[in-house]
Amino acid sequence: MAHDHTIPQRWEHYTAQDHAVWKTLFERQTALLPGLACAEFVEGMRHLPISAQGIPNFAELNDVLKPQTGWQVVAVPGLVPDEVFFEHLANRRFPSGNFIRGANQLDYLQEPDVFHDVFGHVPMLMHPVMADFIQMYGEAGLRAQRIGKLTELARVYWYTVEFGLVKEVVNGAQALRIYGAGIASSFTESVYAVQSASPHRIGFELERVMRTNYRIDDFQESYFVLDSLDDLLGLARIDFAPVYERLNHGPSYQPGDVLPTDTVLHRGSGAYHCAHTAVSA
């Protein structure tokens, strides 16, 4: 492993079972996402060498991705330290696990694998706005780490790049669509995030998001919705110093909180998490 935690992908080492797992995941997600994912995700996927035939070769991905937005995918053995992650993003390198989940883990995985990282993230890296936003986020992450504000900044990444929704005009009417990789790569959460009555869907407001905790163990209780993907560049160019100063005081919020000041697009019933709490009790 290199000093930046990168390793060779070693595509030739994937087994037939590895490629079969990718095929299963790919086919069911691509059948599900039309009508749920945003147009930019669908367009990015269309132009990449990603298919059901097997786990993509990173070199082939980079041959398309790098000329388009300057990004490249680099292989890592798993989660990397924060400073390494931010350094990669700041230099337009997206770290992807080079392993794939087992056939018995199709619906849940604690550590992101090559399907989450490539299928979920790389199509959006073909879009110039997302490409610029994630690079700027990497630069902001390095600064936030130095001043002890990483927790607050991580919430921005979580509620945008991983679990973001965006408004999109479809047949003359406004609809909600997925752009976050954590949703786009999840068979069950793709439907839940857009169609379920259970979660809240709230207009994105930066400071509100930076005060809001999130769930890593289950579906989200709230999703924050952008008016447009172009809003991401506005977020990336913000001077975070006064925001961090305000965050030193005042409340923090739980994932299911709805505030009087929120722009509530859909007030969720909470039925999913209530049912799961009752079962676990």
Cβ-Cβ contacts under 8 Å for 40 (sequence gap 6 or more):
123, 124, 126, 127, 130, 179, 229
163 vs 268: CA distance, rounded Å: 16
- Beta strands 165-170 and 173-178 are antiparallel
- Contact predicate 30/119, CB 8 Å: no
Distances (CA, A) of 53 to 14, 16, 24, 228: 13, 11, 10, 33
Decide: 125 and 44 in contact? Cβ < 8 Å: yes
Catalytic center residues? 116, 121, 162, 185
Q: Which are the contacts of 34, defined by CB distance < 8 A and separation ≥ 6?
A: 42
Q: Residue 54: beta bridge partners?
A: 51
